[in-house]
Amino acid sequence: MTTFKLTHHTARKRMVIKLGGSTLEGLNEEFFENFKKLQNEGVELIITHGGGPAINRELAASQVESHALNGIRVTSELAIDIVQSTLIGKVNPALVHELTAAGIMAVGLNGFDGQLIAADFLDKDIYGYVGEIKAVNTSLLEALISSGLVPVIACVGANAKGQALNINGDTVASEIALAIGADSLLLVTDVKGIRINDEFQTKVTPSLIGKWIEEGHIYGGMIPKVQGAIDCLNAGIPSVQIVGDTLVGTTILSEELVR
Ligand SMILES: Nc1ncnc2c1ncn2[C@@H]1O[C@H](COP(=O)(O)OP(=O)(O)O)[C@@H](O)[C@H]1O
Ligand SMILES: CC(=O)N[C@@H](CCC(=O)OP(=O)(O)O)C(=O)O
């Protein structure tokens, strides 16, 4: 297995990093200092995050049921209020605090701020209050980045009527990477990349991923990650990785780049 080196990314200019809810609560100071190093090396950072476990806890505390379908939370009218308040009110400020403590000028945002993530219902009958992204306000992100600020984005979208919509964090990360023209997308989660038959994969292609989903080797929360990763790869983003908190993991490459 090859190890992911931070220096590998220093030539890259603009990087979208998604911190999964699964790993967020266990990240230490050293992890966040990596971001400061990257910024010092001239990398423009955009951070997005999820918060699945925190949402699960809050839903359970309020005895609100929810379940997942292909890694997407089916979100009822009661659940969306809890998703919104947890991601925007709790998870996002806690992450902004950690980044600030590491010397990063982090600015917390969600889809409502400056119409950052304009969304509409994905399919209300199937998923309830889950959003599909219609537009990303990239000029807001550009303005922040050019001032040396790091946007930290909670995965809540807003529709034209001001209804909050729940959007999977991996989907938000990949759509923002596409909209902003990122040079790399890094999805940080609680596993060291894609594992097949107990073996972590270093390099994989979209066709292998398709086969593994069909065979059930890739399931649940890994599905929106690989889908977002493939969308970014297909759109020409040169570096797309799914990694653990040591930043070691799986690189997703186009077919011709893998022997
Ligand atoms: N092939 C696979 N390799 C690794 N993890 C997988 C795979 N298929 C499904 N998973 C699951 O995906 C999880 C990561 O997704 P998720 O829990 O949604 O994390 P996050 O909160 O970081 O988005 C892993 O912990 C694992 O349970
Ligand atoms: C629609 C949908 O699935 N939304 C996710 C948003 C949070 C998220 O993506 O958190 P992770 O990073 O832990 O996966 C949810 O409700 O769990």
Alpha helices in the chain (DSSP H): 21-24, 29-40, 52-61, 77-86, 92-101, 124-127, 138-146, 169-180, 206-215, 222-234
Residue 12 confidence (pLDDT) above 90: no
**What local confidence, expressed as pLDDT, does residue 9 receive?**
42
Contact 96, 106 (CB under 8 A): yes
Instruction: Say which CATH class 6-257 falls into.
Output: alpha beta
Token pair recorded at residue 3? 């190890």
Task: Pull the structure tokens for residue 34.
Answer: 């990596």
Find the 5 Cα to ligand 1 centroid distance in Å: 22
Ligand closest to the CA atom of residue 191 = 1
* 56 Cβ below 6 A of ligand 1: no
Q: Please give the DSSP secondary-structure letter assigned to residue 84.
A: H
Residue 220 CB neighbour total at 10 angstroms: 10
Instruction: Report CA torsion sign: 12, 101, 142, 16.
Output: positive
> Quick count: other Cβ atoms within 10 Å of Cβ 21?
22
Q: With a cut of 0.95, is the ipTM above it?
A: yes
- What pLDDT digit, counting tens, does each position of 137-173 carry? 999 999 999 999 999 999 999 999 999 999 999 999 9
**For residues 14 and 159, what is the distance between their CA atoms, to the nearest angstrom?**
28
Please say whether the beta carbons of 131 and 166 come within 8 A.
yes
pLDDT per position as a tens digit, 177-194: 999 999 999 999 999 999
Q: Is 52 annotated as a binding residue?
A: yes
Which ligand lies nearest the alpha carbon of 225?
1
Per domain, the residue ranges of the chain are 6-257
Residue nearest (by alpha carbon) to ligand 1 atom 7: 218
Are the C-beta atoms of residues 219 and 208 closer than 8 Å to each other? no
Question: Best mutation site among 170, 185, 187, 191 for ligand 1, i.e. most ligand atoms within 8 A of its Cβ?
Answer: 191
Atom index in ligand 2 nearest the CA of residue 72 equals 3
The tens digit of pLDDT for each residue in 78-115 reads: 999 999 999 999 999 999 999 999 999 999 999 999 99
